Chain A
Amino acid sequence: MMIIRPIKRQDKQALLQLAAKTGTGFTSLPDNESHLQARIERMIATWEGKAPLSEQGYLFVLEDSTTQKVVGISGIEVAIGLKEPWYDFHVGTQVHACKELGIYRQMKKLSLSNDHTGHSELCTLFLDADYRKNKNGQLLSKSRLLFIASFKEKFSQRIIAEMRGVHDAQGESPFWESLGRHFFAIDFNEADYLTGIGKKAFIAELMPKHAFYVDFLTAAAQSVIADVHPTTLPARNILESEGMRYEGYVDIFDAGPTLEAYTSDLRVVRKSRLRQVKIGATELSGEQILLLGNDKYQDFRAIIASPLLDRSSIYLTQSQAQALSVIDGEQLRVVPLFEKENSL
């Protein structure tokens, strides 16, 4: 069984191994041991109520219960940009018109912005290639939303998710080559890595402060603005089906789109319901594939299953209850895994 649970200190090695596999543009899981160690400590401090708002975050792992191997990771940052500025580019429209001469032009421009300061962020989503099947990606991505639904007051009213932008097999980003390189004089990988380990001051020091017109970028750069890397498309589709939208903000390095939403508008937050656990000897199957979460803060668990449920109860097997760390009579938070399914 595939189970979502909070990260533990013992997961460090597994995390390092996953980090080594993520490749270019995966900013938030740098292949850097001390950084990952610090990250784990920060997550634990959050769960223990010891972290200030500016440092709060959650990291969940996907564990294969048969091998007890950690094969996936997903995270949430509670409030970005409160310690160090959070940058993105806002894609704006500027109209230049002269009625007298009969000229009218719309121009796209990019401006450096900190507009998402204080928002929560879905981040650090990675699934081992061997496990990209059986809806594991759905579980990994959406279980976070279930956690947020359970503990809404701990998160911001707005939530974002940055999607990796377009770059080629060599790790080159056309957007970086057209813009960033002129200002930074380093490779995209290096800029991304530095950001990932928190050395972001250089952005403020070197990035163009004034808005600039997209027309001045190369055609290749223009074409990738707000486009995702092909491998990121499934993740984008998932989040869009959950109610997140591109609203004109892109990453400053590779121009990947930022998806955003009001937290209360997320489908899982709106549509999840509570049911009382009833454990039975035999498996009783329902009609829908469901995402199940145990509504527990410290000991959060989530799985995918298709148990039977009625207006008040949900019928789990013993092993399902064990995986979810619940006993008979406890509350479970339930939502159809897919947006297109009917409501409960």
Chain B
Amino acid sequence: MIVLRPAQLSDISNLERLAYASGPRVSTLPAKRSHLLSKVERSIYSFEQEVLTPGDESYLFVLEEVLTGQLLGTGAVNALAGNREPFYSFRNDIKIHSSRELNVHSRIHALTLNHDLSDHSQLCSFYIAPALVDTHYPSLITLGRLLFMSIFPMRFANEWMAVLPGISDKYGRAPFWEHVGRKFFGIDYNQVEYYNATRDKTFIAEMMPYHPLYVTLIDEEAQAVMGLVHSDAQLQCELLSEQGFEPDKYVEIFDAGPILSVPRNAIPLCQQIKSVTLAVNKGNAATQTYLLGMADNNDFRACIVQGVLQGGQLFLSQENIALLNCRQVQRIFCVAL
């Protein structure tokens, strides 16, 4: 059985392996042990907090095959995208330039550096082992986190968002970076994403343009990729889109990857959560697929199971119930998939 559970200190070596495998595309999972260690420590601390309102917390989950202990993926949530430090993005503003005299009415786009999304909760660090891409386990990482966020509303903001990687090739060349960011930094795309993940954000304030950038003056190759998602993240994009996440006018500052967001009330999953108790399935009724979440104050685990929902009970196989090993105090939720 594969479960989504909070990361523990004992996961460090495996996490390092996953971070390395995920490559630069998952910029919030840098392959640097010290950083991963502090991420896990911060996550453990966050779970332990009695949270009344979102702040500095960051929750890191891993996907684990319970029987072997192997880690197969990751997913994280930042309570606030920019709490200690601002969360920078480009906002694609439209300025209307209009002249009756010349009969010109143009919509001029300009990218403005901003912190607007700092107070959104942010899903990040999504990674799934390649072997599981065509299974339902990617859903587990994403929907499991959404379930977690729905069950603990006081830990999260009203708006949720995710930054998806934009277009870059296998040599690490990102067209938007080449024609925009590089003018200000003079360094490679991979390098800046690494700095972004491992350093505080002062360097962004120091190096990025203060003035809005007129899109019409940006090289066409870069314009063409604005808001486009990298093929590696297509899956994650679909999962989020199904749950109501939509691109708005914000893009990532380095590769112009889309930033998807949604108000928590508009997420379909949140409407479909049912509180249940578990029981052993003795009958022969046809089973359905459910996302199952087990929560108590400081812990949350999720998995995907086959079961029968009847009344307030979810009937699972004996084997699954044993594997799940839920504790008495835990609340249990499920969502039909």
Tell me the A residues contacting B by CB distance below 8 Å: 94, 96-98, 100-101, 103, 105, 107, 109, 178-179, 182-186, 194, 199, 201-202, 205-206, 208-213, 215-217
Tally inter-chain residue pairs, CB-CB below 8 A: 89
Q: How far is the CB of A187 from chain B (nearest CB, A)?
A: 11
In the bound complex, residues from chain B placing their C-beta under 8 Å from that of A213 are 183, 209, 211, 213
In the docked arrangement, what's the CA distance between A101 and B187, Å? 10
Inter-subunit contact A100/B218 (CB<8 Å): no
Complex Cα spacing A199 to B208, Å: 37
Q: How far is the CA of A281 from the CA of B249 in the complex (A)?
A: 84
Query: A208 to B106, Cβ gap below 8 A?
Result: no
Shortest Cβ distance from A101 into B: residue: B203
4 extra interchain contacts, Cβ-Cβ under 8 A, other than A183-B106, A186-B102, A201-B101?
A96-B184, A96-B206, A105-B185, A213-B209
Please give, as numbers and ranges, the residues of chain A lying within 8 Å of B106 by CB-CB distance. 183, 185, 206
Chain A residues whose C-beta falls within 8 Å of the C-beta of B210 in the assembled complex: 94
Decide if B98 is an interface residue (CB 8 Å cutoff).
yes
11 interchain pairs (CB within 8 A)?
A98-B203, A100-B199, A101-B187, A103-B187, A182-B108, A182-B217, A199-B101, A210-B212, A213-B183, A216-B183, A216-B214
- Known A-B contacts A103-B185, A182-B216, A206-B99; the reply to A97 vs B104 at CB < 8 A is no
Q: Report chain B residues within 8 Å CB of A97.
A: 206-207
Would A205 and B214 count as touching, CB distance under 8 A?
Answer: no
Q: A96-B206, A100-B203, A206-B97 are in contact. Are A105 and B186 (CB under 8 A)?
A: yes
B residues touching A (Cβ–Cβ < 8 Å)?
Answer: 95, 97-99, 101-102, 104, 106, 108, 110, 183-187, 195, 199, 202-203, 206-214, 216-218
Chain A minimum-CB-distance residue to B101: A202
Q: Point out the residues of chain B lying under 8 angstroms from A216, CB to CB.
A: 183, 213-214, 217-218
A79 to B160, CA, bound (A): 56
Task: Give the docked Cα–Cα distance between A109 and B183 (Å).
Answer: 12
- Residue contact A103 to B186, C-beta cutoff 8 Å: yes
With most chain B CB atoms within 10 A of its CB, the pick from A94, A109, A179, A212 is: A212
Specify which chain A residues have a CB less than 8 angstroms from the CB of B104 in the assembled complex.
184-186, 202, 206
Task: Give every chain B residue within 8 A of A96 (Cβ-Cβ).
Answer: 184, 206-209
| Given A96-B206, A103-B185, A212:B211 Cβ within 8 A | yes
B184 and A182: CB pair below 8 A? no
Closest chain B residue to A111 by CB distance? Answer: B211
Interface contact A98-B206, CB-CB below 8 Å: yes
Q: How far is the CB of A91 from chain B (nearest CB, A)?
A: 14
Enumerate the 8 nearest inter-chain pairs by beta-carbon distance, A residue then B residue, closest first: A216-B217, A182-B216, A205-B99, A202-B99, A98-B206, A98-B203, A211-B211, A215-B183
**Contacting residues, chain A, for B214 (C-beta < 8 A):** 182, 208, 210, 212, 216
Q: Which residues of A contact B202 (CB under 8 A)?
A: 98, 100
The answer to whether B102 touches A206 (Cβ under 8 A) is yes
Report whether B102 and A107 are in contact in the complex, using a CB–CB cutoff of 8 Å: no
- The CA-CA distance from A206 to B216 in the complex, in Å, is 13
Whole-angstrom distance between the Cβ of A217 and the nearest chain B Cβ = 7
Give chain B nearest CB distance to A93 CB in angstroms. 13
Q: Which residues of B contact A211 (CB under 8 A)?
A: 211
Tell whether, in the assembled complex, residue B207 and residue A202 are in contact, meaning their CB atoms are under 8 Å apart.
no
Q: Return A268 CB to nearest CB of chain B, in Å.
A: 40
Pair A212/B213 contact, Cβ less than 8 Å = yes
Complex formed: what's the CA distance from A183 to B185 in Å? 28
Q: In the complex the two chains form, is B183's CB within 8 Å of A107's CB? A: yes
Q: What's the Cα separation between A174 and B218 when bound, in Å?
A: 16
- Which residues does chain B contribute within 8 Å of A105, judged by CB atoms? 184-186, 207
Least distance between A59 CB and chain B CB atoms (Å): 27
